Chains A and B, each alone.
Chain A
């Protein structure tokens, strides 16, 4: 069995979610080839061998620098064909998902997204996926020969194998008509820890009463090395940017630790955090529904508890 993995990079490094995709493919068994598109250092690409990739194809046609979906899908479909790969694994990201959708049609493949575990191949080929915004799972069988899995974060434990991958240039045949859609600009927070990929998240709700109070959230996040999130009303009121809004209609996070401050725990908010490993809730109202979904809780005023917690974490470090 030959498996192709689409790996994405950000600011020159391979994304963590893509490393998970390589590790997932390696855990499935078979020959793992990764494909990377655009500008990435070859040393980064070679390092994918450490997670189980035997070979890395690098498509670095200069037109492919900025993540355009249609040409990327064409490159990947061509790579599947040339490698004889009948399985494609990728992370379910803002680029991976639309690329997977298009490749599934080009390759006549079964496609399942939000996959949370390794496949079960004891009878056919089935996978477990998250549904109802994290409130349930479904085991689904992929019925076509070609298969594409778009993984949710933490679908597999990343193991280092100590290998190094051979990097080959991959020249895809791309018609100009694929480049009609133009990305005119991007507007991206740099340097920050990205919420969808974060291992630790500190999130604030309406209980913080105003954007001017966010410094206590930011200081706690900084001390922990965490990303910051918020509830929907907070981003609706423009206290925080939209991409920080967690929940049913926002980002679904799956960190090891989610700290919720001044968030009541409405079911739509919980839908975005229910795959967190550990949840801490800080709320001045002991009846807040979030406590029912929490592992640890503190009843108290955020303006009192959060700075003390930041201090305690600082103290524990030294």
Chain B
């Protein structure tokens, strides 16, 4: 089984979001970057599949040089080698074209991604890559088992799940509980240092959208506290003040 896992390099989920340069740049000060939590599920499932049936895992990131520690972490978790497309990921179409370009001659049986990146939350790259490569793309996938040349998947839909049979090769956007997140062990961390991390230049610069400006939401006003013995007041506030009942 040859698996490509696409990972993002994103601010930790507890990060305070702030912008600089007239709200046109993300403020990285004090922010810790991690493998996208959904991408982490994709990688964990890839490692499990490799443990069961052999094969290889390549991780791919479209990003600038500062993403390399994150890529090394994926190598420490269990990927065999890595590719970094040396470009700032500005838009889903741009990223999808770069991923498709790397994957098209790679002979991968499956391309695993996260359901969405947690910075731009586009949830679109897997579908675009699927279309570019003429493969099915399924997301968000909660269960993925291989039987012969077919993958048995469970996909979350509004209020439930859908079960699918998909022929390989395919693209999947993963989410819990597809696998348990894996923590790199010492041996993994040591071996990651010498695993190949190939840097390639981007193919073209086509994009679909350009960023103009960031904006932070308005701060919430202060909370109005209501006595636990007077819940009737809450009901009347919700009715007459907030007008939501």
Contacts and interface: CB of A to CB of B under 8 A. Distances in A.
A and B together in one complex? yes
B52 to A, nearest CB: 22
Contact of A280 (B118, B228, B238): B238
A297 B224 CA distance: 6
A35 B137 CA distance: 22
A143 B37 contact: no
A298 B231 contact: yes
Given A224-B245, A278-B242, A137 B215 contact: yes
B215 A298 contact: no
B201 interface: no
A268 B164 contact: no
A255 B180 CA distance: 31
Interface in A286-307: 291-301, 304-305
A295 B221 CA distance: 7
Contacts of B156: 94, 242-243
Contacts of B161: 186-188, 243
B118 A133 contact: yes
A75 to B, nearest CB: 14
B220 A295 contact: yes
A171 interface: no
Given A249-B176, A280-B234, A180 B136 contact: yes
Nearest to B220: A293
Interface residues on B, range: 35 or more
Interface stretch (A38-46, A56-64, A97-105, A158-166): A97-105
Nearest to A311: B231
B225 interface: yes
Interface residues of A, number: 92
A105 B123 contact: no
B160 A248 contact: no
B238 A296 contact: yes
A133 B123 CA distance: 12
B228 A304 contact: yes
B155 to A, nearest CB: 7
Contacts of A140: 209-212
Main secondary structure of the interface of A (DSSP, over half): mixed
B239 interface: yes
A267 B127 contact: no
A1 to B, nearest CB: 19
A243 B176 CA distance: 11
Nearest to A299: B228
Interface stretch (A26-34, A80-88, A189-197, A210-218): A189-197
A249 B223 contact: no
Contacts of A9: none
B194 interface: no
Given A140-B212, A267-B13, A300-B228, A94 B157 contact: yes
B209 A248 contact: no
Contact of A278 (B130, B162, B238): B238
A291 B224 CA distance: 9
B207 interface: yes
A277 B159 contact: no
A101 B128 CA distance: 5
A136 B160 contact: no
Contact of B223 (A67, A69, A296): A296
Interface in B88-146: 92-93, 96, 118-128, 130-132, 136-140, 142
B22 interface: no
Q: Which of B161, B176, B223, B242 is the most central at the interface, judged by chain A CB atoms within 10 Å of its CB?
A: B223
Nearest to A292: B223
Q: Which of A95, A150, A181 is the most central at the interface, judged by chain B CB atoms within 10 Å of its CB?
A: A181
A301 to B, nearest CB: 8
Contacts of A139: 211-215
Contact of A297 (B138, B212, B226, B236): B226
B233 to A, nearest CB: 9
Interface string A164-204: 00000000000000001111111111001011110010000
A308 B231 contact: yes
Contacts of B148: none
Contact of A185 (B14, B163, B207): B163
A298 B157 CA distance: 34
29 contacts: A10-B158, A69-B127, A69-B138, A105-B96, A111-B93, A131-B120, A132-B17, A137-B217, A138-B213, A139-B212, A140-B210, A140-B212, A143-B208, A180-B136, A182-B164, A184-B163, A184-B164, A185-B163, A192-B159, A242-B176, A243-B156, A249-B175, A257-B238, A295-B223, A296-B223, A296-B226, A298-B226, A298-B234, A312-B231
Interface of B: 11, 13-14, 17, 19, 37-38, 92-93, 96, 118-128, 130-132, 136-140, 142, 155-167, 170, 175-177, 207-217, 220-221, 223-228, 231-232, 234-239, 242, 244-245
